[in-house]
Amino acid sequence: MGSAEADLVSIITPVYNSERYLSQTIQSVLQQTHQNWELILIDDGSSDQSPVIIAQMEKQDHRIRSIRLPSNSGAAIARNCGLKLAKGRYIAYLDADDLWLPKKLQRQMDFMKTHQAAFTCCDYRRMDVQDNLLNTVHMPCTITYEQLLHNTIIQTVGVMVDLRQINPELLMMPNVRRGQDLGTWLQLLKNGVIFLGQNEVLALYRITPQSLSANKWRAMKRTWHLYRSVERLPVAKTLGCMVGWAYHAAMKRIPGYFYRYTGPNDIKNAAAQNIRSGEDKTG
């Protein structure tokens, strides 16, 4: 595989009635300093002007391509369709109302290569519907399956994975309407994939009145359903995880919040563990 092919990033973007922000989201991809990418737009049965915007953007840049699902099927099915079409070594996710900073792909790819990382997420800044910037959410340098159950801090807008180190089947999202991304990150961790957090703000996550993050009661029900029906946790353990989830969900709104202290050697230790894990699989 040549260098250009090896550095291809496949960006998966589900689209459903996203006309208000879609052009801005796509522009944030076009402005990336790393230009070796493909943007896969999955129109999940939109009834607004999203299909028109997609068609216009496809004509402007050959790296943008799309498919249209016959009916609204949900983000899980849309993302899974995009994954099946992906040609890149790296997979990144960008929802149709979120944004990336111009160096997002390049800086995250450099971070992953430096630490031989398979699964990463960068810090991100929250913003409102008027593009006003809110607080920053900082990633822990690493996180385990059990820790993620209590603190669902990994955000899709900041995730990048390396398919040379991860079986693509592990990225197939569970077919639930809400929380499919969290279910996928739990699936990766449960199967021994090591997560590394990148403490650099490279993405903007939009909070809208319709977003799940803006409705904590809906988010709580979604998380409960995921833990009980997908992760099959006992009731007592689910209750304990939900206490942690509620605490950290509130803390993420506080400026300067860190999940835990990240000492100077933590990222090195996690990276070393990741490298040893890779050697064990290939040895």
Helix axes 266-282, 104-115, angle to 10 degrees: 70
Helix, strand, coil percentages, rounded to 5, for the chain: 45, 20, 35
Contact 66, 54 (CB under 8 A): yes
What average pLDDT score do residues 179-207 get?
Answer: 96
pLDDT per position as a tens digit, 165-187: 999 999 999 888 778 999 999 99
Per-residue pLDDT band at 62 (split at 50, 70, 90): very high
pLDDT per position as a tens digit, 96-129: 999 999 999 999 999 999 999 999 999 999 999 9
Per-residue pLDDT band at 264 (split at 50, 70, 90): very low
* Contacts of 95 by beta carbon, 8 Å cutoff, 6+ apart: 13, 14, 25, 75, 156, 157
Output the pLDDT for position 250: 76
DSSP per-residue letters across 213-281: GG-HHHHHHHHHHIIIIIS---HHHHHHHHHHHHHHHHHTTSTT-BSS---TTHHHHHHHHHHHHHHHH
Per-residue pLDDT band at 278 (split at 50, 70, 90): low
| pLDDT of residue 266 exceeding 80 | no
Output the pLDDT for position 6: 72
Per-residue pLDDT band at 246 (split at 50, 70, 90): confident
| pLDDT of residue 236 exceeding 80 | yes
- Say which DSSP state 103 is in: T
Per-residue pLDDT band at 261 (split at 50, 70, 90): very low
Domains of the chain in start order, with CATH, are 1-97 (3.90.550.10), 100-283 (no CATH)
Output the pLDDT for position 8: 98
Lowest-confidence pick of 85-94, 131-140, 208-217, 252-261: 252-261
Contact 9, 90 (CB under 8 A): yes
Contact 15, 43 (CB under 8 A): yes
What average pLDDT score do residues 133-147 get?
Answer: 94
Distance from C-alpha of 248 to C-alpha of 258, rounded to nearest angstrom:
10
Output the pLDDT for position 161: 98
Please provide the average confidence, as pLDDT, over all residues in the chain. 88
Q: Determine which helix (DSSP H) or strand (DSSP E) holds 76, and give its type and residue range.
A: helix 75-85
Lowest-confidence pick of 85-94, 139-148, 262-271: 262-271
What average pLDDT score do residues 81-91 get?
Answer: 97
Contact 96, 25 (CB under 8 A): yes
β-bridge partners, 13: 41
Burial class (CB in 10 A: 0-12, 13-18, 19+), 51: middle
